[in-house]
Amino acid sequence: MPFLGQDWRSPGWSWIKTEDGWKRCDSCSQELRSENSQYTINHSIILNNGEEEIFNNECEYAAKKRKKEHFGNDTAAHSFYREKWIYVHKESTKERHGYCTLGEAFNRLDFSSAIQDIRRFTYVVKLLQLIAKSQLTSLSGVAQKNYFSILDRIVQKVLDDHQNPRLIKDLLQDLSSTLCILVRGVGKSVLVGNINIWICRLETVLNWQQQLQNLQMTKQVNSGLTLSDLPLHMLNNILYRFSDGWDIVTLGQVTPTLYMLSEDRRLWKKLCQYHFAEKQFCRHLILSEKGHIEWKLMYFTLQKYYPTKEQYGDTLHFCRHCSILFWKDSGHPCTAADPDSCFTPVSPQHFIDLFKF
């Protein structure tokens, strides 16, 4: 008999009737104990000595919490909305009561499918990173489960296809820092869920970081045309298409020819001019011994002080006429005479700002 609480989305407990009354069914307990042995982490890097002792006393219970949450994610995944648009309303009206929250938007927009699209992958990762930095505690319990479920799929995708590992490492670094602060400062902020759940989430993130740290890129043997076989002007055009300096540095490590092209001053000058204003150049001007501007050093120096322009293959869009947030490819039921004139691309930061009250 399932326990029916106020939240109909909760999977609830399973109960069986005995001669002594109703008892909770723990059919998964043995399976949980066998799987718990796979997760071992030195928690001294997270907690102080006194806190570590308290944590060790609750370790077994916390591990069960983690597994229960994992199974809950699989169960609740079927109840998530699969719509690709949502109406954004910030106050109650006669037609709509309440308001739209960040957690509701995160649940109802189809981010699980978006991470499979190479055009949207970077956008979703950046959005998860912004939520990890400042908005994690504002998510509801179901939204938190959805958040870590999507993050789990992203990590597994990177481990399988070996693409974009640096983006995920940066995301997990910010997320682990936030979780450490929340775990150490229990009581200083309102947390949705038990503290053991947050400890288990931190443990999971540390496991993901370790897996990515041990990731080995397999060398592909291909007898066909390779990147090195392209003429110099085509290789140069490829480098000029990059908007991230770290991508240029990484590609320059492949072959001596690419390294020579990646050190071109004009390439780094164009990259600086794309991301930063001329006034910013003057404040952090770096000259060589011969009096030339070191554009490569300028780029990485300016990157520490100013945000770079964000570039995405596809983003969410907001319809000003209908107040609807949607993926452009899927569209939405717009009532405007000229719908395209009402569409505005939504950056990850703009997405967060839409739900600030």
Q: What is the pLDDT along the chain (357 residues), one digit of tens a residue?
A: 454 555 444 455 677 777 777 777 654 444 434 444 444 445 454 555 555 554 455 455 555 555 555 445 444 444 444 567 788 876 666 655 556 788 888 888 888 888 888 888 999 999 999 999 988 888 888 888 889 999 999 999 999 888 888 889 999 999 999 999 888 877 666 777 788 888 899 999 999 999 998 887 776 666 677 788 888 999 999 999 988 888 899 889 888 999 999 999 999 999 999 998 888 888 888 888 788 888 999 999 998 888 888 888 888 888 888 888 888 877 777 878 887 888 888 888 888 888 875
Euclidean distance between CA atoms 161 and 155, whole angstroms: 10
Residue carrying the six token digits 């106050």:
91
Q: Which uninterrupted H or E stretch holds 18?
A: strand 15-18
Q: Which contacts (CB < 8 Å, 24+ apart) does range 318-322 have?
A: 318/88, 318/343, 318/344, 318/346, 318/350, 318/354, 319/343, 319/344, 320/344, 322/87
Euclidean distance between CA atoms 34 and 355, whole angstroms: 42
Euclidean distance between CA atoms 173 and 165, whole angstroms: 12
- Residue 330 has φ and ψ, to the nearest 5°, of -85, -25
Cβ distance 85 to 76 under 8 Å?
A: no
Please tell me whether residue 30 adopts helix, strand or coil conformation. helix
pLDDT of residue 289: 79
pLDDT of residue 30: 43
The widest CA-to-CA distance across the chain, in whole angstroms, is 91
Would the pTM count as exceeding 0.95?
no
